[in-house]
Amino acid sequence: MRQRREYLRVLDKALPAMESAIDSFNRVRHSYRNEATLMLMVNAWELLAKAVLIKRKHCIIRDDSKVTISAEHAIFKLVNINLLAEEKSQLLQQIISLRNQAVHYALPLVENEIMHHLLFFGCKFFRELLYDEFPKKLKDLEEHYLSLSFSTQTTYADKVQKAVSKIKKDNNSKTLIWLLERGVRFDGTAYINQNEFEQAYRAKKKILPHLGIGAYLKNSDMVRIVPIQAPKNYTADVTLRKGSSSDSSLPVQFKKTNIEQDYPYLTGEIADSLGKKPYVVSQIVKHLNFKGNTKFHQSIRSSKNSEIHRYSESALNAIRDFLNQNPGYKPKRRPSVNTGKP
């Protein structure tokens, strides 16, 4: 029988390895969860990277050997040929660094938020490279992977900052930050050892600015797992807003909203109270950019293709002020289209 191409045979093992990594992390009462997840995810990435390199006719064999290159070198090669961004490589090298520790020694305690960050972006970047190089295979990784949570989590950045603050008095924190740091600083040849790592912050009051992981925090997106339970007739809105440059913890604010009380007006009701036509009100709303601003507006889906727009007291006052300042306001209507039908 004709054998499948080499890169396809390698790719066929990368996809189930990634799904197995996700499955391992979501398993209940799995005392070896982090270690198994890291091993499977690195296996998936190493196979995907080698499939891409083989397809593009790049050598994956070590010099003077029949052994293939390691995961960290395969990822580094993708960066060198501009198939993977440096910031993505830094995240993957952290995963590989932790995996190497888990394989060869005892892995330190890794907080859930750090694992969530590495797992989420490790999977996301995996799918992005899969889409770029093997788009027909993307359908094999389209499942919705649900992780149940009853606790409030923070973020990778928050946990890393706390671990760094304890680095001089807590061995677990020191080992964890070293493993992440050696991943971020991998230069394609060798890892930094623990003595080199400690020299970077020795005799320093503020440690994080002197570490590569500090720069990584400034340039990396954060992900936060937020369980939401809403009572009947409540909606859940998640709003991203610009935060403080000194805080990477990604705070999440919850606000319970009673739609009919907090947004009592429909477009027609505002029009009636101001003596205007609904079309005029809708154009002012568009002009003032209310939609998407929860201070003024909320939309409720009433059917598959229809929404009901509700407005707050602040919206009514803002529209009234706009009309007082622009008493002659007359929005232009779109010209009617002549269809040729009677």
Confidence (pLDDT) at 252: 59
Q: SS3 sequence, the chain?
A: CCCCCHHHHHHHHHHHHHHHHHHHHHCCCCCCHHHHHHHHHHHHHHHHHHHHHHHCCCCCECCCCCCECCHHHHHHHHHHCCCCCHHHHHHHHHHHHHHHHHHHCCCCCCCHHHHHHHHHHHHHHHHHHHHHHCHHHHHHHCCCCCCCCCCCCCCHHHHHHHHHHCCCCCHHHHHHHHHHHHHHCCCCCCCCCHHHHHHHHCCCCCCHHHCHHHHHHHHCCCCCCCCCCCCCCCCCCCCCCCCCCCCCCCCCCCCCCCHHHHCCEEHHHHHHHHCCCHHHHHHHHHHHCCCCCCCCEEEEEEECCEEEEEECHHHHHHHHHHHHHCCCCCCCCCCCCCCCCC
- Domains of the chain in sequence order: 6-219 (no CATH), 259-325 (1.10.1660)
pTM higher than the cut 0.95: no
Q: What is the pLDDT of residue 302?
A: 63
pLDDT tens digits, the chain, 342 residues: what are they?
667 899 999 999 999 999 999 999 998 888 999 999 999 999 999 999 999 999 999 999 987 778 999 999 999 999 999 999 999 999 999 999 999 999 999 999 999 999 999 999 999 999 999 999 999 988 878 777 777 777 778 889 999 999 999 999 999 999 999 999 999 999 999 899 999 999 888 888 899 999 999 999 988 998 888 777 777 767 676 667 776 666 655 665 556 667 778 889 999 999 999 999 999 999 999 889 888 787 898 887 666 567 888 899 999 999 999 999 998 888 876 655 454 544
What confidence score (pLDDT) does residue 256 get?
Answer: 60
Contacts of 126 (CB under 8 A, 6+ apart): 18, 44, 45, 48, 141
Residue 244's pLDDT is: 66
Task: Report the side by side order of strands in the sheet with 297-303.
Answer: 265-266, 306-311, 297-303
